[in-house]
Structure 1
Amino acid sequence: MMNRPRSRWSAPLALVTGSALLLLAACSGQAGIDPAEVDVPTPLPEGINFEPDISTAEADDSCDPLASYDPGSITAEQAREQLDSDDHISIGISQSTNLMGYRDPVTNQLEGFDIEIAEAIITELLGADAQITWVPMTSREREDAVNNDRVDMVVRTMTMNCGRWENVEFSTEYYSAGQRLLVPKDAGIESAEELTADQTVCTGESSTSPSNIAAVTEAQPVTVPDFNDCLVLLQQGTVDAVSTDETILAGMAIQDPTIEVVGEPFSDEPYGIAFQKGNTDLARYVNGVLADMRSDGRWQDIYDKWLAPRLGDATPPAAKYQD
């Protein structure tokens, strides 16, 4: 029989074992000493505001925010004259809002309700082979993006109201949303009205949400530049709830089975596609495409694919024109 070679770790292992026993014996003789406490600060998103200024002014009702421009006989050629290029278009979107506009982590493709609405419009306007530049942006960037020629249009869960009509042109309403509440399932909260003054609610800045929250509850709004940061703040316990449009909240709930959307909608959030101020021919043409999508079933197919499983049955909002 061959002699097994002696391991080069044999002697050191014996020494280590003996040292470990001496160390354990020493530690056992120091009973009553508490371990050191380390205070690790909770990471917070850049731009978070725990005491934002919330407007208490009456809502501007000087216009009908749902009334856009009648399509008339505007052609695709006329509409393309208000683009920066005849064969290229840039679209402002979200790439991190589940269900509406997000980048699929598996395929790396943009997906969602807003994305497919935009794609249908682009196909009619420029053809199936159109060159598209998708431009991710926050809520705060939307108006400047169209007016500074960064994008040709914005399709990003944008609520139409009279204040925004002063700065951009809008399409007709392409989705009727409402603001609700997102909370942990074990929180025992069933509506925004149940929140108290010592609780906090996260939402996106430069949106209609902070004022809506202040109108229905005494809870303290907390704002962040991008409402997607609210999900992390809720999960780490920094805030008690999240409140924004139900479309956005439904997308957050998909990502975490311990949270849920609760309560009835407490605001009206009509979504419109935004264009540079003065680009009314482009708005008219898009309104014509949206009208066709309502009547031929394309809008319904997109809704049923992305939102119906989470938000229930719905039909396309009717078009309303100001001329």
Structure 2
Amino acid sequence: MNARRLRAGLRGWGGVGAMAVACALALVFALVLACTGTPADDAAGTTGRPVTHVVPAQTDEECTDPEKQTLSPSRADGDTIEAIKNRRGEKRKLVVGVDQNSYRWGYRDPNSGESGRLEGFDIDLVHRIAEDILGDPDAVQFKAIPTDQRIPAIQDGRVDMVVRTMTINCARMQEVAFSAPYFKTGQQVLAPKSSPVEGYDETLANRKICTAAGSTAYAKLEEDKKAGRLPESTDIRTTVPNQLDCLVRLQLGEADAVVTDGALAASQAAQDPTVQLKGEAFTTEYYGVAMKKDADDLVRRVNQILVDFREDTEDGWQASYEEWLSATLGGDPSKSEPPAPVYARKD
């Protein structure tokens, strides 16, 4: 475990100067498949649709505790898993939508010595899923998916699943199926250390806020502004395809603050020592693995994998947290641990 910590300590970008490297890499790879081999099944597609997928606020009164609305675990193979296993040759891979520029979650570390290799907490989970289903942790075709393309990529069959710091909520459950939660977080404000912004409060008046298009952060800002819980003068029009773009906007002075998941905000603060988290998290959210609504066997299998991942004390959830996230979120993972799973969804 100490070796894992050491490797994590050696990884990092840090500072505005290195951010230029990260942004350059992101631009280079933005429309390129991140593969561990040759492309997988052509039916998965290779490009995203130029459509902004907006996630509305949770207004469905019948939807409560969305993180509990998933299927019970199972190791059985069904039609979805069989189709994945029946891919031949180099195409026999799990096709997964991920991020490529969220530091310590899914990112390309220019200091890793392995050009183009994706690393991070979400990436560890993807390898675990691939190993369980296909017997090879590297049997994965990674696809870099912008925030607003996560749901369309699943629905169009471009990916088998999305593992990309994706919050489970009622609106999204109308369009995709989720696993049980694998991480707990909440929305938080990120701003320059010198900024008078103090958190998610009246200090955001007359400030320009940046969020990712299609994110729960934007949905929350829009909802609160309409309800009068956010100052009327707060400008929430700045949206970008990916969270890292918000940090760049902040550095360029084109935004006054960023609202995003606290887990991602902490990683961005680690990249740039001139910014910091402001105030406490003002929501409670859970990340889940997203899949097609009718992929029941895959949902059940992923839920079983998550049970095993949590119970693995040597190379599971805890070890991955220590390697990737302890440096930004602290050594105590208890605040980030998901709740005991509840499988309330019926067939």
| TM-score category of the 2 structures, normalised to the smaller one | 0.7 to 0.9
Which deviates the most, 132-141 or 102-111?
102-111
| SS of aligned partner of 2:84 | coil
Corresponding residue of 2:235: 220
Question: Shift of the alpha carbon at 1:195?
Answer: 2.4
- Partner Cα separation in structure 1 for residue 262 and residue 196 of structure 2: 19
Question: Shift of the alpha carbon at 1:194?
Answer: 3.7
Post-superposition Cα deviations, 1:123-181, rounded to whole Å, max 9, x if no partner, equal 11111265211000101111111121111110001111111111111100011111101
Compared CA separation, residues 167 and 186, structure 1 to 2 (3 A)? same
Which deviates the most, 158-167 or 206-215?
206-215
Decide which of 126, 138, 150 is 1:118's aligned counterpart: 126
- Asked if residue 257 in structure 1 is aligned to residue 257 in structure 2, the reply is no
Q: Any conservation in 1 of the 2:95–2:159 contact (CA below 8 Å)?
A: yes
Decide which of 321, 341, 344 is 1:319's aligned counterpart: 341
| SS of aligned partner of 2:150 | helix
Post-superposition Cα deviations, 1:260-294, rounded to whole Å, max 9, x if no partner, equal 11211011221110111200100001100101111
Q: Any conservation in 2 of the 1:178–1:245 contact (CA below 8 Å)?
A: yes
Compared CA separation, residues 130 and 97, structure 1 to 2 (3 A)? closer
Decide which of 180, 198, 214 is 2:188's aligned counterpart: 180
Compared CA separation, residues 204 and 283, structure 1 to 2 (3 A)? same
Corresponding residue of 1:167: 175
Q: Any conservation in 1 of the 2:193–2:276 contact (CA below 8 Å)?
A: yes
Q: TM-score scaled by structure 1? A: 0.78
Query: How large is the RMSD of aligned CA atoms in angstroms?
Result: 2.3
| SS of aligned partner of 1:187 | coil
Q: 1:220 is aligned with what amino acid?
A: D
Compared CA separation, residues 195 and 260, structure 1 to 2 (3 A)? same
Question: Shift of the alpha carbon at 1:61?
Answer: 4.2
Q: Any conservation in 2 of the 1:62–1:162 contact (CA below 8 Å)?
A: no
Decide which of 283, 300, 321 is 1:267's aligned counterpart: 283
Q: Any conservation in 2 of the 1:82–1:279 contact (CA below 8 Å)?
A: no
- Partner Cα separation in structure 1 for residue 62 and residue 320 of structure 2: 33
Q: Any conservation in 1 of the 2:58–2:170 contact (CA below 8 Å)?
A: no
Post-superposition Cα deviations, 1:238-264, rounded to whole Å, max 9, x if no partner, equal 111011011211221122111111211
Structure (1/2) with the larger helix percentage: 2
Question: Shift of the alpha carbon at 1:101?
Answer: 0.4
- Partner Cα separation in structure 2 for residue 252 and residue 58 of structure 1: 27
Compared CA separation, residues 89 and 55, structure 1 to 2 (3 A)? closer
Q: What is the aligned residue count?
A: 271
For residues 289-304 of structure 1, the aligned pairs below 5 Å read 289-297=305-313, 298-304=316-322
Q: TM-score scaled by structure 2? A: 0.73
Larger radius of gyration: 1
- Asked if residue 96 in structure 1 is aligned to residue 90 in structure 2, the reply is no
Q: Identical aligned pairs, as a percentage?
A: 38
Q: 2:72 is aligned with what amino acid?
A: D
Q: Which residues of structure 2 form unaligned runs of 5+?
A: 1-26, 28-51
Post-superposition Cα deviations, 1:67-107, rounded to whole Å, max 9, x if no partner, equal 210014x3257662253744321110000111110011133
Which deviates the most, 211-220 or 268-277?
211-220
Q: Which residues of structure 1 form unaligned runs of 5+?
A: 1-44, 46-51
- Asked if residue 305 in structure 1 is aligned to residue 314 in structure 2, the reply is no
Question: Shift of the alpha carbon at 1:205?
Answer: 1.0
| 4+ long deviations beyond 4 Å | 54-58, 76-79
Corresponding residue of 2:71: 69
For residues 34-113 of structure 1, the aligned pairs below 5 Å read 59-63=59-63, 64-67=65-68, 68-72=70-74, 74-76=75-77, 80-83=81-84, 85-86=86-87, 87-106=92-111, 107-108=114-115, 109-113=117-121
| SS of aligned partner of 2:263 | helix
Compared CA separation, residues 172 and 134, structure 1 to 2 (3 A)? same
Q: Any conservation in 1 of the 2:57–2:219 contact (CA below 8 Å)?
A: no
Question: Shift of the alpha carbon at 1:197?
Answer: 2.9
